[in-house]
Amino acid sequence: MSVSGFYFNIPKDRIGVLIGKEGSFKKLLEDRTKTKIKIDSESGEVFVCAEGDNLVVLPVVKNILKAVACGFSGQAALELLDENKHLEVIDLKDIMGKSYSEIERIKGHIIGRNGKVRRNLEEYTNSRISVYQTYVGIICDLENLEVIRKAVEMLINGTSHVGVYRFLETQRRRAKEDFSLWADK
């Protein structure tokens, strides 16, 4: 029996989410993926190993760990077990540089007052969005990935909320038209 695995560093303030109440999330993740997870709470280092032929699940578990590290809840991260779901991570530092005030302004633009913009984006695209530290994480179906990525990029580039909503409405209308054309055949 061979053992294969990988190491992953997770922010210390996200370790609690990865472990879950009384170890519940860690155990659930291990059970659902047939892996063993060792967490060093001091360093934030996580070791994941799969026994036998279960190597195909390791990239999925790595994406789940990335999602938790980017601010998603454990339940949201588990959506990545669905092969149609995808994780996209945008690092605002790569786009905006290291200016703390610029990054905070952009994060506020993406989240909106009381989280309204983020909720609207999620509803329009059937996705989940997390804004944590300098990261914007997106979990969605592959068919909506381009649309939600473009909408977030528009917000990062300063497009008004109304402009982004208009773009999303146009995309939704096109998707419905494409579906109705396909259904008529």
> Closest Cα partner for 68 from 17, 6, 128, 136?
17
Whether the per-residue pLDDT at 183 is higher than 80: the answer is no
| CATH class, range 3-81 | alpha beta
Q: Do domains 3-81 and 86-184 have the same CATH topology?
A: yes
% of residues, the chain, pLDDT over 70 = 94
Q: Where are the domains of the chain?
A: 3-81, 86-184
Which of residues 101 and 182 earns the better pLDDT score? 101
Per-residue pLDDT of 28-85, as tens digits, reads 999 999 999 999 999 999 999 987 777 889 999 999 999 999 999 999 999 999 999 9
pTM of the predicted model as reported, rounded to 2 decimal places: 0.88
Which of residues 142 and 96 earns the better pLDDT score? 142
Task: For residues 163-177, give the mean pLDDT.
Answer: 90
Q: What pLDDT is attached to residue 60?
A: 95
Task: Decide yes or no: CATH 3.30.1370.10 for domain 86-184.
Answer: yes
Whether the per-residue pLDDT at 184 is higher than 80: the answer is no
